[in-house]
């Protein structure tokens, strides 16, 4: 059920806590391998780059190099060895992303609570992964990342974590508290639809809610392949997809990703 795939390195291989020089070499080698695979099968594969984000200037340079080799986007983690994505040191990377006009796919890594209250029952994945994505989205909004780099196009994994469901609380809190305004950010509703969201939510009603509240043009098919929490069956078997209008189904399965990543048919 999948005609083309955008390939990326598995998130545990981001290596943000490792030596920056070593990760620069690893990222370069992985990006070269992905580019070679995509070039060998241009009708089937495209690729997203990995970058050594613990060294933002090196990450920007590697992204530029990878794009020249054919990468059409970049995947990053939801934090950088514990640093949130609004850290001003990352601005050189965000500037390069905006300049190159490539999408950023955010996937959770090194999630909060892995070694304490989330260590049992696979909660580090069930709760921790979507939580870390939500923290990343909140920091991008209130940390002023979108305001400093308005051309950014950011895709959130796992349907944005809790973002679509907690947005009302954020909006209410923005009106009541000063903390979300310290960087000059506007109300969160101004930013929610600047993100894109994948379909990894595993529930018909939740998918339909996301599409209705965010817009069919902001949601796109994701597999999370090859992990156990992915949707590894047929693309058209996404829970809830068949209940959506045909136009929305076409957008989610093909149109949105083709537009975002500039993929020609």
Share of the chain above pLDDT 70, in %: 95
pLDDT at 2: 78
Q: Is the predicted pLDDT of residue 3 greater than 90, yes or no?
A: no
Residue 224, in any domain of the structure: yes
Residue 265, in any domain of the structure: no
pLDDT per position as a tens digit, 126-173: 999 999 999 999 999 999 999 999 999 999 999 999 999 999 999 999
List phi, psi (to 5°) of 101: 60, 50
Residue 117, in any domain of the structure: yes
Exposed (0-12), middle (13-18) or buried (19+): which is 21, by Cβ within 10 Å? exposed
3-state secondary structure of 77: strand
pLDDT at 186: 96
Residue 52, in any domain of the structure: yes
Which of 76-80, 145-149, 172-176, 225-229 has the lowest average pLDDT?
225-229
Residue 194 structural domain: 5-260
Residue 69, in any domain of the structure: yes
Instruction: Say if CB 123 and CB 115 are below 8 A apart.
Output: no
Question: Residue 104, Cα to own-chain centre: how many angstroms?
Answer: 6
Q: How many domains does the chain have?
A: 1
Residue 201, in any domain of the structure: yes
pLDDT per position as a tens digit, 5-50: 999 999 889 999 999 999 999 999 999 999 999 999 999 999 999 9
Q: How confident is the model at residue 225 (pLDDT cuts 50, 70, 90)?
A: confident
User: Which residue has 């500037």 as its token pair?
Assistant: 95
Residue 147, domain CATH: 3.20.20.140
Q: Is the predicted pLDDT of residue 234 greater than 90, yes or no?
A: no
């Amino acid at each position: 059920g999948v005609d083309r795939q955008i390939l990326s390195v598995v998130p545990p291989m981001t290596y943000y806590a490792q030596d920056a020089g070593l990760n620069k070499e690893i990222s370069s080698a992985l990006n070269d391998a992905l580019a070679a695979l995509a070039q060998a099968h241009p009708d089937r594969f495209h690729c997203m780059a990995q970058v050594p984000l613990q060294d933002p200037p090196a990450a920007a340079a590697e992204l530029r190099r990878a794009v020249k080799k054919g990468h059409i986007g970049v995947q990053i983690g939801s934090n950088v060895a514990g640093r949130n994505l609004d850290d001003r040191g990352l601005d050189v990377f965000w500037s390069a992303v905006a300049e190159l006009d490539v999408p950023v796919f955010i996937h959770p890594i090194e999630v909060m609570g892995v070694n304490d209250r989330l260590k049992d029952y696979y909660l580090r994945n069930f709760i921790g992964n979507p939580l870390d994505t939500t923290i990343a989205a909140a920091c991008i909004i209130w940390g002023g990342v979108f305001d400093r780099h308005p051309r950014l196009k950011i895709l959130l994994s796992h349907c944005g974590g809790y973002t679509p469901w907690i947005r009302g609380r954020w909006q209410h809190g923005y009106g009541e508290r000063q903390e979300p305004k310290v960087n000059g950010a506007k109300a969160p509703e101004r930013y929610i639809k600047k993100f894109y969201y994948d379909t990894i939510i595993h529930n018909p009603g939740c998918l339909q809610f996301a599409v209705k509240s965010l817009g069919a043009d902001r949601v796109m098919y994701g597999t999370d392949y090859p992990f156990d929490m992915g949707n590894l069956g047929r693309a058209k078997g996404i829970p809830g997809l068949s209940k959506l209008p045909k136009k929305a189904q076409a957008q989610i399965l093909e149109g949105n990703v083709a537009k975002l990543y500039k993929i020609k048919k």
